[in-house]
Amino acid sequence: MRDRKQKQSYANWDYSLETSVPTGWTGHSLCVNVWTGENAEQEPSLYTVKAVFILDNDGNRLLSKYYDPELYPSMKEQKNFEKNVFNKTHKADNEIAFLEGMTIVYKSSIDLFFYVVGSAQENELMLMSVLNCLFDSLSQILRKNVERRCLLENMEGVFLVVDEIIDGGVILESDPQQVLQKINYRADDNPLSEQTVAQESSGTQEEAVFMT
């Protein structure tokens, strides 16, 4: 009975010592390496995406969502970050970058830039699958015209696509077909032209009749 061996509790000791002396640690981890994130042992979680944004070719924000309230809480910080990311990425289409301690995957199309941001420890391929899903879904609802004007004309569709792919930082869906099916949205060829408005109003009249 006496020679039972328990390695486990032995290890717990070292933990208790470490956690009881936080100051040395934090000071040290700062000078360690933001980059490998060595000391930040990550809690397994579904919160994969820190932010997603779409910029035009001047670096202006067309859409952006930040999911981690601690990451760039103010609008100013967000726009700064976007600007910085844009400056570092718009020249070469490199697909992946590492900035301000974040892994950023990106893609450009004509005059648009799509970015998905995750933490330094995040699985890069997971972020890629989000980016690809976003891009493919948009490409389909915009009928392959993935460019600024067309995107802006179908902004509601873009909002809906992003909402279906990511919910509060959790990947909700990664299959573009599923996304399209869920939002059931089609781009208009000639949005809100005079003619369509005329049709619309006649349509609403019918509806009004129906309602009465």
Partner 1 sequence: MIKKFDKKDEESGSGSNPFQHLEKSAVLQEARIFNETPINPRRCLHILTKIIYLLNQGEHFGTTEATEAFFAMTRLFQSNDQTLRRMCYLTIKEMANISEDVIIVTSSLTKDMTGKEDVYRGPAIRALCRITDTTMLQAIERYMKQAIVDKVPSVSSSALVSSLHMVKMSYDVVKRWVNEAQEAASSDNIMVQYHALGLLYHLRKNDRLAVTKMLNKFTKSGLKSPFAYCMLIRIASKLLDETEGGHDSPLFDFIESCLRNKNEMVVYEAASAIVHMPHCTARELAPAVSVLQLFCSSPKAALRYAAVRTLNKVAMKHPSAVTACNLDLENLITDSNRSIATLAITTLLKTGSESSVDRLMKQISSFVSEISDEFKVVVVQAISALCQKYPRKHSVMMNFLSNMLRDDGGFEYKRAIVDCIISIIEENPESKETGLAHLCEFIEDCEHTVLATKILHLLGKEGPRTPQPSKYIRFIFNRVVLESEAVRAAAVSALAKFGAQNDDLLPSVLVLMQRCMMDSDDEVRDRATFYMNVLQQKQKALNAAYIFNGLSVSIPGLEKSLHQYTLDPSEKPFDMKTVPLATTPITEQKTEIAPIATSKLPEKLAPSRQDIYQEQLASIPEFQGLGPLFKSSEPVQLTEAETEYVVRCIKHTFARHMVFQFDCTNTLNDQLLQKVMVQMEPSEAYEVIHYVPALSLPYSQPGSCYTLIRLPDDDPTAVSCTFSCTMKYLVRDCDPNTGEPDDDGYDDEYVLEDLEVTVADHIQKVLKPNFGAAWEEVGDENEKEETFALASVRTLDEAVGNIISFLGMQPCERSDKVPENKNSHVLFLAGVFRGGHDVLVRARLALADGVTMQVTVRSSEETVVDVILASVG
The Cβ of residue 152 has, within 10 Å, a number of other Cβ atoms equal to 12
Regarding 31 and contact with partner 1 (CB under 8 A), the answer is: yes
Handedness of CA 172, 178, 183, 188 (dihedral sign): positive
Regarding 36 and contact with partner 1 (CB under 8 A), the answer is: yes
Residue with Cβ nearer partner 1 (139 or 167) = 167
Choose, by CB under 8 A, the member of 55, 88, 112, 180 that binds partner 1.
Answer: 88
User: CB of 20 within 8 A of CB of 40?
Assistant: no
Question: Distance between CA 145 and CA 73 in Å, rounded?
Answer: 33
Choose, by CB under 8 A, the member of 59, 61, 136, 187 that binds partner 1.
Answer: 61
Choose, by CB under 8 A, the member of 19, 45, 70, 189 that binds partner 1.
Answer: 45
To partner 1, the closest distance from the beta carbon of 94 in angstroms equals: 4
Residue 193 phi/psi, 5° resolution? -75, 170
| Strand positions, DSSP E, the chain | 51-56, 61-66, 96-99, 102-109, 112-119, 166-167, 170-171
Residue with Cβ nearer partner 1 (132 or 139) = 132
148-207 residues in contact with partner 1 (CB under 8 A) are 148-149, 152-153, 155-157, 159-160, 163, 167-168, 170-174, 178, 182-185, 192-194, 196-198, 200-201, 204, 207
To partner 1, the closest distance from the beta carbon of 127 in angstroms equals: 8
To partner 1, the closest distance from the beta carbon of 183 in angstroms equals: 7
99-138 residues in contact with partner 1 (CB under 8 A) are 99-101, 105, 123-129
Angle at 159 between CA 157 and CA 202, to 5 degrees: 40
Q: Which residues contact 208 (CB under 8 A, 6 or more apart)?
A: none
Residue with Cβ nearer partner 1 (83 or 171) = 171
Regarding 13 and contact with partner 1 (CB under 8 A), the answer is: yes
Name the burial class of residue 24, with classes exposed (0-12), middle (13-18) and buried (19+) by CB atoms within 10 angstroms of its CB.
exposed
Residue with Cβ nearer partner 1 (184 or 189) = 184
